[in-house]
Amino acid sequence: MDVNPSPSNTPSPRISVIVTAHDRLSYLSEALGSLAQQDASPSDFEILLISNMEEGTVRPVVRSPRVRVLTENSASLGQKIATALRYARAPLITFLEDDDAFHPHKLSALIEEYDRHPELGYLHNHYSLMDAQGHPLPPSAFRARADRLLRARGGIRIDSHTRWDQVQHLAGVYPEFNNSCISVRRELLAPYAHLLPLADLATDQFLWLVALRSPWCLSLDERRLTTVRLHGANASQISEASRSMVPQGLLEVSQRNVQALDAVGETLKEGQPSEYRQIVDSVLAVEKALLDLRGAEIRRARYREDFGQLMRLRSSYVVKTRRPLLLATGTASLSPAVALSFYRTMGGRIS
């Protein structure tokens, strides 16, 4: 499993970077290269790469002896993170997907922010975009409204005392988007680590929902500390670029997200206030509506059910953020063909 264990007598790092990969090496060297360029002291962070590939396949790409290589054969991203957590030594955890990259100041900025705010448990930083070849993309290439809102507000801090009032003002913002933008205190995540395998691909949503039910302060940082790659093999770009058909890969992602949120939702809602339960229900309702829009030969009755659920949850910031989805689902309850055409045209602006 761990082919490059850290000596037990080395000082513990400040932050553990969990790099995840599955069946793909094409972008990994760039992701790891961005870690080699960090201005944080090398002693402040450790790197754990976990994938379903064997060392002999991965090591020629990794090169650096600093990277601890772990193997986890499960296709569940949540399972990979749960396995890596057992080896991580730092009190702070951040995540990097193999097709993304960190800006050079990211890790030092995270350490500084968590040191300055001991009450901080979850930080989601803003991001810049690149294409498949690594060329910069303008913010308008993906979720332009969210970009404008977050930058205009200069970041958002959510405390435990006025949490639900603050959360309701997150309409238009995606506080859970992309694992590579998320960092957490290990102490916040540890009680829920056993649920991570069930979260499967929906780990970013899971991490946000876990943070919301915690007593910790949450921060949506406006700094662009991550570069997110939009390409034909990731869900973000697939949903943005779908013009003539819904790719099978995106449909599978939707199915797995619904199954994952179904699996963890009830457990997360236990003992929580109605405001929190509404958010969990809204996240699941949105994923179910997206799945049905992306699927084939769905009956109007299913769309009416989706639309009714979204309407019942329309006061939630989750549904407010996705108003085009509400429109598409409502249209589908009258004419599935028209709605599907609308979805394919709108692409990522719906999801």
d(C-alpha 53, C-alpha 140), whole Å: 35
pLDDT value of residue 327: 87
pLDDT value of residue 233: 59
pLDDT along the chain (351 residues), means of 10: 54 96 93 97 97 90 93 96 98 97 98 98 97 90 86 93 94 95 98 97 98 97 96 52 54 92 97 97 96 79 93 96 88 79 63 64
Whether 171 and 279 have beta carbons less than 8 Å apart is answered as no
Question: What structural domains does the chain harbor?
Answer: 15-229 (3.90.550.10), 241-349 (no CATH)
Q: Which of 260, 114, 98 is nearest to 183 (CA)?
A: 114
pTM score: 0.92
pLDDT value of residue 238: 40
d(C-alpha 67, C-alpha 190), whole Å: 23
Listed in order, strand segments (DSSP E) in the chain are 15-20, 45-51, 67-71, 92-97, 101-102, 120-130, 136-137, 156-158, 182-185, 217-229
Residues found in the chain: 351
pLDDT value of residue 80: 97
pLDDT in tens, 29-66: 999 999 999 999 999 999 999 999 988 899 899 988 99
pLDDT value of residue 9: 61
The CB-side HSE value for 69 (13 A sphere, CA atoms) comes to 18
Q: Which residues pair with 124 in a beta bridge?
A: 182, 220
Give 171: exposed, middle or buried? Use CB within 10 Å, 0-12, 13-18, 19+.
middle
